[in-house]
Every structure is written in structure tokens, then in C-alpha cells.
Amino acid sequence: METNSLWFLENIDVTNIFCPQKLGSGAMENHIQKTFKKGEFIYIPEEQADHIYLLSDGRVKIGAYGDGGKEITKAILNAGEVFGELSLIGAQRRRDFAYAMESTTVCVITVDEMKSLMREYSGLQLFMMKVMGNRVLEMEQRLESLVFRDSRTRIIEYLLNLSKKKGQRVGYEIVVRRFLTHQEIANLTATSRQTVTTVLNELRGKNIITFNRKRLLVRDVDALGKETAKQA
């Protein structure tokens, strides 16, 4: 099993549409490729929402600030994923922030240009609908998990979803490269770093997973799934 974070639809290469290799004279003039340093914000809350972004290289955190300024992580995106898409449906200001977790390159396109491309490429409209639909579904699943699952189960479910969406099958195992830190997983699952560390070490002790700073290896995905039934 190998998944790609960029959904390629039939007869449409979204990367080439956003960031064409060769720009015609006057055409696509609103496309900009921009690089952000690690720790730099791509946009912040209340900033004008007039651009859409395709992540070409690097990693981006999408989040918001809760009561008392507490940071809430909504998503961590990898190369090939689109963000800032709410501007397409009328959002005038950003409600969240986008933050470069490492040196990151994005293709930037104005909302007007994006709407023009969606008229030109029929598959692009479906692509953007999938982007927004998947984001809503993911947030609903996270909310349901937060309400009905304990901390341990939330962490294991996150590992399962991560392996399905961004894992690559190697024999009977699944490898996820560029694994997150324990704190990042804690932020995404509304748990603590200590709890994440405990659960990961427990699963490693059962030989279900192995991990380091660079990758997660799921050695037995079926056994990992069965662990979700064991409430802490």
C-alpha cells in the first residue's frame, strides 16, 4: 500500500496546474513560488484570506489559538497538500495560522486565479471539493474521538490513520517516513507528551511498531487495530 498526500484525479496533474514548469507570457502570472524558513508563519489569524497554497516541499502546521493563547493543532501537512482553501467559499480573514515546521516551499495562487483555473480544468473543481470534504471529515472524526475515546485509544487511532494515509507498504509492514515528535502527536490527539511516549513504548514492547525520529514502522497493522478496543 502506498498513498500520496496529493490526490491525483484522472487526467489532471494538480501540481503542474498550480506550479507549471514553463509559464506562458502573461499566463499564470499570479503563480508565485515562495520559500519559508523553519519557524516562519505563512499566514496568521485575521490576515486577509486572498490566496491558496500548494505545499511543494517541507511541512506545514495548521492551527489556531484557544483560550489563554493555547495552541491547537488542526493538521500537519506534507508535500502535495493544499491549504488556505476556505478563501474559495467566502472567508475574508484567516481563522487559523499556517506555520513552516522546516524549510518549506509553497506555490501561491490568488483566489481569482484559482476560480479561473477551476473553470478551465473541470477536474480541478472536484479536486478542491475533495480537499474541503476530507478536511471536514477529519475534523468530525477527531471531535468524535475526543468525546468518545480515551487518550490511549486516540493515540492508537491516530497512528492507524497516519499509516493508512501516508504509509508505504514494505512487505507485510507499513513505513511512515518523517515521523512526528511525541509533542506533535500529543497536540493532534489532545493528550500529553508523556502519554504519547508511554503508549508508543508499550506498542514497541509488544513488537507492533518500531520508531525513531525519522520514521514509524507498523509491523502488524491488524494487531495495532485490535489495540483500539483496549480501553486504558
Q: What is the mean pLDDT of the chain?
A: 84
Whose CA is closest to 89, among 49, 44, 45? 49
Rounded Cα–Cα distance for residues 225 and 229 (Å): 8
Q: What is the β-pairing status of strands 51-57 and 215-218?
A: unpaired
The model scores a pTM over 0.95: no
Q: Residue 25: exposed, middle, or buried by beta-carbon count in 10 A (0-12, 13-18, 19+)? A: exposed
Rounded Cα–Cα distance for residues 36 and 100 (Å): 6
CB hemisphere CA count around 70 (13 angstroms): 6
Per-residue pLDDT, averaged over 151-176, amounts to: 91
Can you spell out the DSSP letters for 2-27? B--SS-PBTTB-HHHHHS-SSPPTTT
Question: What CATH number matches the domain at 149-227, 3.90.850.10, 1.10.10.10, 2.60.130.10, 3.90.1150.10?
Answer: 1.10.10.10
pLDDT for res 14: 65
Whose CA is closest to 183, among 195, 175, 166? 195
Q: Which pLDDT tens digit goes with each residue over 69-119? A: 778 888 899 888 889 988 888 889 999 999 999 999 998 989 998 888 888
* Angle value at C-alpha 69, between 68 and 71, nearest 5 degrees: 125
Q: Give the residue extent of every domain in the chain.
A: 14-146, 149-227
pLDDT above 70 for 8: no
pLDDT above 90 for 196: yes
111 neighbors 50 (Cβ within 8 angstroms): yes
pLDDT above 80 for 205: yes
pLDDT above 80 for 59: yes
Strand partners, 177: 215
pLDDT for res 230: 67
How much of the chain exceeds pLDDT 90, in percent?
45
Strand partners, 76: 61
pLDDT for res 93: 92
Superfamily name with CATH number, domain 14-146: Jelly Rolls (2.60.120.10)
Q: Which pLDDT tens digit goes with each residue over 16-58? A: 667 765 444 444 445 688 999 999 999 999 999 999 998 989 9
* Angle value at C-alpha 187, between 184 and 57, nearest 5 degrees: 45
188 neighbors 153 (Cβ within 8 angstroms): no
